Amino acid sequence: MQISKRSLYDYAIIGAGISGACVAYFLKKSGKNVVVIEKDDIASGGSGAAGAFLSPKICSKSRYTSFINDSFSYAIKFYRENFPEFLDEKGILRILRSEDEIKKCRDLEDFMPKDFRYLNSSEIDILNQNSCKFGGYFFSNGAVIDASGVISQMIKDIDLLKPLHVEHLEMVDGVYNIGDIEAKGVIICAGASEDFEQISYCGLKNIFGHRVDIETSTIVPFHLHKECSISASRDGIVHVGATHIPNYKYDKSKDYTKEIDEMLEKAKSYIDFKEFSVKNIYFGARNSTQDFFPVTGEVIDAKETLKKYPYIKKGTLVPREKYLFHKNLYICAGLGARGFVLAPKLASYLTQRICKETHIDKTIDTQRVFIRYVR
C-alpha cells in the first residue's frame, strides 16, 4: 500500500527486491511496524530481471557450498509453505560438462541436498545429445519462483514509499528522516547498491545479468542449468537467464544485442526450440561481496572504530562487542546471483538478531567484510 502522511516506523527497509521483501515480511511477522522504500518500482532491479531459479550448488565441498545448499532447502520450504502459488517446482537438471565432473560429483553426493538422481544422456530426451553427453543431476525440488508475484505478495500489507531515491542516511534525535517518514531504524537491502557512505567498507560490487522470455511451442518439462539457465514451459513461455562477471558495467543507453544473442545461442544448443521468438528482455544488477558470501547484521562505524582501535590494521584482534556501530542501521545485501535462494534465510537471521539479539554467524556478518577492508 502507498503511504500518504508523515509516519513513524520501527524500521525503514531500502529496496523492494527479494532481500528487502523478505526482511519486511519477517519483521512484520515479528510485530514490527515497517515501511519499504524503493527508488523505482517493486522488483524493478536485479530481482525483476532474474530468472529466479532455486537450485543447489554441486561438484564442490566447501563452507560456501554448505551454506548455499542449506539456504536452498530453507528457501524451498519457505516458499512452498507461504507462497505456493508462485512456486514452479518442476525440478531442475544441473548438466555436467566432463567425465571429471561426473567423478567429482559422485564422490560428493553426500554433500548434496536430498531428492536427486543422476541421469545419463539417453534419459534426457528434451536436450540435444551433444549438450548433455555427460548427463546431469536432477533435483526434484528445484524450482523457479515468480519474482514479481512473490515480492508483491510479501509486501502487499506493508506500507510502500516509491519512487524515492535515498542518497543520504543520518540519524537525528533518535530517528532517521527519509522523505515524508521517520524510522527508528533502517535496513539497507538495495540490490544494485546505492553508495551509502556507511556501508562503503563492505566492498559490494555489482554483477550484471539478464533474462529473456521466449515464446515457443516446444514443451520444456523441467528447469535446467549449464552455462545459462532455462526454465520449464509455462503458458508457452520459457525463461532464459544468465549472470555475468562481477563489475560488468551495465549502461541502459548501450546496445546489448551481442550478449543477448550469445546467451540465446547457448540455449538453442541445448534444446531445438520450435517457433522461437523473443517476447521480453530484462536487464538488472545485483551486488556481491569479494568472497561471494552475503553480508547481514549491524553496520559498523568503520571510521570511528578505526579511530579507537587503529591497531586493527596491523592484525590485532578486537572483540566484536567493542566495535562502534551506526545506531539502528543494518544491512542485508551481497546476495549475488542467488538472491531468491539466500534471501529467506538471511531475513530470518537478521530478524532474530533484531528482535531476539541472537548471534549472526561470522561467515555472513559485517565484521568479516570490515576485517577484509582494513587489512
Asked if residue 80 belongs to a domain, the reply is no
Q: Are residues 252 and 339 in the same domain?
A: no
Asked if residue 366 belongs to a domain, the reply is yes
Q: Are residues 123 and 165 in the same domain?
A: no
Q: Are residues 227 and 369 in the same domain?
A: no
Looking up residue 213, the CATH number of its domain turns out to be 3.30.9.10
Per-residue pLDDT at 194: 61
Q: Are residues 121 and 216 in the same domain?
A: yes
For residue 241, what are the domain limits? 91-143+207-285
Q: Please report, for residues 2, 29, 83, 95, 106, the alpha-carbon distance to residue 133 in angstroms, rounded to integers and kept in the order given.
A: 52, 48, 36, 9, 16
Looking up residue 182, the CATH number of its domain turns out to be 3.50.50.60
Q: Are residues 362 and 295 in the same domain?
A: yes
C-alpha cell at 6: 508523515
Asked if residue 1 belongs to a domain, the reply is no
Structural domain tally of the chain?
2
Residue from 32, 61, 361 nearest 187 by CA: 32
Question: What three-state secondary structure class fits 186?
Answer: strand
Give the count of beta carbons closer than 10 Å to the beta carbon of residue 177.
Answer: 16
Per-residue pLDDT at 207: 83
Burial class of residue 374 in the structure, from the number of CB atoms within 10 Å of its CB (0-12 exposed, 13-18 middle, 19+ buried): middle
Residue from 120, 144, 304 nearest 237 by CA: 144
Asked if residue 56 belongs to a domain, the reply is no
Per-residue pLDDT at 192: 65
Per-residue pLDDT at 368: 96
Task: Look at residues 256, 285, 314 and tell me which one is the last residue of a structural domain.
Answer: 285
Q: Are residues 137 and 216 in the same domain?
A: yes
How many C-alpha atoms does 89 have within 13 Å on its Cβ side? Answer: 17
Asked if residue 66 belongs to a domain, the reply is no
Task: Encode pLDDT of 263-318 as tens digits.
Answer: 999 999 999 999 999 999 998 888 899 999 999 999 999 999 999 999 999 989 89
Q: What is the rounded distance in angstroms from the CA atom of residue 107 to the CA atom of residue 145?
A: 30
CA dihedral over 353, 359, 364, 369, signed as positive or negative:
positive
- Name which of 74-78, 165-169, 328-332 the model is least confident about: 165-169
C-alpha cell at 187: 535496513
Asked if residue 67 belongs to a domain, the reply is no
Asked if residue 302 belongs to a domain, the reply is yes
- Name which of 38-52, 147-161, 293-307, 354-368 the model is least confident about: 38-52
- Which string of b and e fits 73-112 if b means at least 16 CB within 10 Å? bbbbebbeeebeebbbbbbbbbbbeeeebbeebeeeeebb
Q: Please report, for residues 30, 193, 346, the alpha-carbon distance to residue 68 in angstroms, rounded to integers and kept in the order given.
A: 25, 22, 11
Q: Are residues 295 and 338 in the same domain?
A: yes
C-alpha cell at 137: 543431476
Question: 160: phi > 0 → left, psi -120 to 50 → alpha, else beta; which?
Answer: beta
Task: Encode pLDDT of 125-146 as tens digits.
Answer: 999 999 999 999 999 999 999 9
pTM over 0.85: yes
pLDDT exceeding 90 applies to what percent of the chain? 82
Q: Are residues 214 and 276 in the same domain?
A: yes
Radius of gyration for the chain, computed over Cα atoms and rounded to the nearest angstrom: 21
Q: Are residues 188 and 166 in the same domain?
A: yes
58, pLDDT greater than 70: yes
Q: Are residues 230 and 276 in the same domain?
A: yes
Task: Look at residues 253, 270, 285 and tell me which one is the last residue of a structural domain.
Answer: 285
Q: Are residues 16 and 156 in the same domain?
A: yes
Q: Are residues 153 and 240 in the same domain?
A: no
- Which string of b and e fits 11-44 if b means at least 16 CB within 10 Å? bbbbbbbbbbbbbbbbbbeeebebbbbbbeebbb
pLDDT confidence bin for 246, thresholds 50/70/90: very low
How many C-alpha atoms does 83 have within 13 Å on its Cβ side? Answer: 26
Per-residue pLDDT at 193: 58
Task: Look at residues 285, 313, 340 and tell me which one is the last residue of a structural domain.
Answer: 285
Give the count of beta carbons closer than 10 Å to the beta carbon of residue 116.
Answer: 20
260, pLDDT greater than 50: yes
Q: What is the helix (H) or strand (E) element at residue 101, kind and residue range?
A: helix 99-107
Q: What is the rounded distance in angstroms from the CA atom of residue 319 to the CA atom of residue 296?
A: 18
Asked if residue 305 belongs to a domain, the reply is yes
Q: What is the rounded distance in angstroms from the CA atom of residue 178 to the CA atom of residue 93?
A: 45
Q: Please report, for residues 25, 45, 179, 188, 311, the alpha-carbon distance to residue 168 in angstroms, rounded to integers and kept in the order given.
A: 25, 20, 11, 12, 30
Q: What is the rounded distance in angstroms from the CA atom of residue 248 to the CA atom of residue 271?
A: 28
Question: What three-state secondary structure class fits 161?
Answer: strand
Helix 63-82 with 339-356: angle, nearest 10 deg: 90
